[in-house]
Amino acid sequence: MKYLYLPIALLLLNCQSSKKETTTSTDTTKIEQITSVDTLDIDLVALKDQKLLGKTQIVEIKNDPVYHKDKRFNAVLFKDILYKYSSVENLNPAETKIIFECEDGYKPEMPLNRLLDSESFLAISDADAPKGSDWEQIMKDGHEMKAAPFYLVYTNSQHHQSNEYQKPYNLVKVHFAPLHENDAALRPKDESAMVGYTLFKNRCQTCHAINKIGGNMGPELNYPKSVTEYWKTADLQAFIVNPASYRNEVKMPNLGIKPEESAEIVKYLTYMSKHKL
Ligand code: HEC
């Protein structure tokens, strides 16, 4: 697997160095960089199937924020997997992000240097699972969620409790990409949409795509039709604040978005409706 990635790693090194020389690179060169870095995928399920994840150890997590109690997992040091099965060592962590892909379409990301500076473990099974199963079910907002096949945990409890550290469950793949990969495509040129953009990027993009960029646990919000084209503005703003007031058994969580923040997000969505693919 490692050897397979070697030519890609070399290609990548070229791209990274050319990036430094030409800070004003055109969109076309950016696309080339993204494509080459995108090949840095790790399919965790395939590694498990081939029994390549290595020997597990028991990791204890105090007051796990997903299970809301103390937990013990059979886990492997995540960094070991990254270094063994990807070309991560050839990347500049300060300019790279790691993107997690979950089976249900949830797609959070975080800066690679933050991850590498932490003690993160890939939990492979739940040491306290009920007999006959690998995992205890997760209950979230009244819905049963699947932790399998993998859940990322941090032994430093400050990290594990912090929103800055992603702890995806139902995790299947990870990949690396340039830290600012999508800024050119999603960042508005108009200052008045900027507050909404930042909110969207931090609070919504893990589940929703705009112009096909982002998670797909929830629907794409801009392409081919923007939500601002088929929702009335006031309803759209109110839905974002409290989705359950519109739909029974809604799958979008209440994110604690304030009405003023929702108005900013809708401004951004309206701006993007005029900037489709
Ligand atoms: C954890 C995932 C998740 C996050 C985070 C999330 N959503 Fe959603 N969203 C969903 C899901 C799932 C649906 C589909 C809801 C349903 O119908 O049950 C949805 C539906 C929607 C819809 C309705 C789309 C339509 O066509 O009717 C809008 C608008 C929306 N979300 C906006 C947002 C905004 C804005 C944010 C950020 C503040 C956000 N969502 C954050 C998961 C999420």
pLDDT one-digit tens code per residue, 26-69: 444 443 443 333 458 999 999 999 999 999 999 999 999 999 99
Question: How much is the pLDDT for 140?
Answer: 83
Residue 247 CB less than 6 A away from ligand 1 = yes
- Give the ligand 1 atom nearest the CA of 269: 35
What is the radius of gyration, based on Cα positions, of the chain? 20
Is the Cα dihedral 240, 241, 244, 246 positive or negative? negative
- 98-108 pLDDT, tens digit per residue, is 999 999 999 99
Ligand 1 atom nearest to CA at 261 = 38
Q: Number of C-alpha atoms within 13 angstroms, CB side, residue 217?
A: 20
The per-residue pLDDT for 40 is 85
pLDDT tops 60 at residue 12: no
CA 264–ligand 1 middle distance (angstroms): 16
Sign of CA dihedral 167, 168, 173, 178: negative
The rounded distance, in Å, linking the Cα atoms of 206 and 30 is 22
Residue 5 has pLDDT above 90, yes or no: no
Query: Is the shortest distance between the CB of 203 and ligand 1 below 6 Å?
Result: yes
- How far is the centre of ligand 1, averaged over its atoms, from the C-alpha of 213 (Å)? 15
Rounded distance between C-alpha atoms, residue 194 and residue 186, angstroms? 10
**Cα 249 to Cα 167: distance, rounded to the nearest angstrom:** 25
| CB contact set of 180 (below 8 Å; sequence gap of 6+) | none
Atom of ligand 1 minimally distant from the CA of 206: 5
Q: What pLDDT, on a 0 to 100 scale, did the predictor assign at position 39?
A: 58
Residue of the CA atom closest to atom 25 of ligand 1: 227
Does the pLDDT value for residue 230 go beyond 50? yes
The pLDDT > 70 percentage for the chain reads 86
Average pLDDT over residues 216-222: 97
**CA 47 – ligand 1 centroid, Å:** 32
Nearest CA to ligand 1 atom 2: 207
Nearest-atom number in ligand 1 for the CA of 204 is 37
Spatial contact of 205 and 270, defined as CB atoms under 8 Å apart? no
Of 242, 202, 243, 200, the C-alpha closest to 221 is: 200
Convert the pLDDT of each residue in 180-209 to its tens digit.
999 889 999 999 999 999 999 999 999 999
pLDDT tops 90 at residue 22? no
Q: Is 207 in the pocket of ligand 1 (CB under 6 A)?
A: yes
Burial bucket for residue 223 (CB in 10 Å: 0-12, 13-18, 19+): middle
pLDDT tens digits for 145-182?
899 999 999 999 899 999 899 999 999 999 999 999 99
Mean pLDDT within 105-116 = 96
Distance CA 51, CA 47 (A): 6
Q: Tokens in use for 2?
A: 């490692």
- What confidence score (pLDDT) does residue 18 get? 37
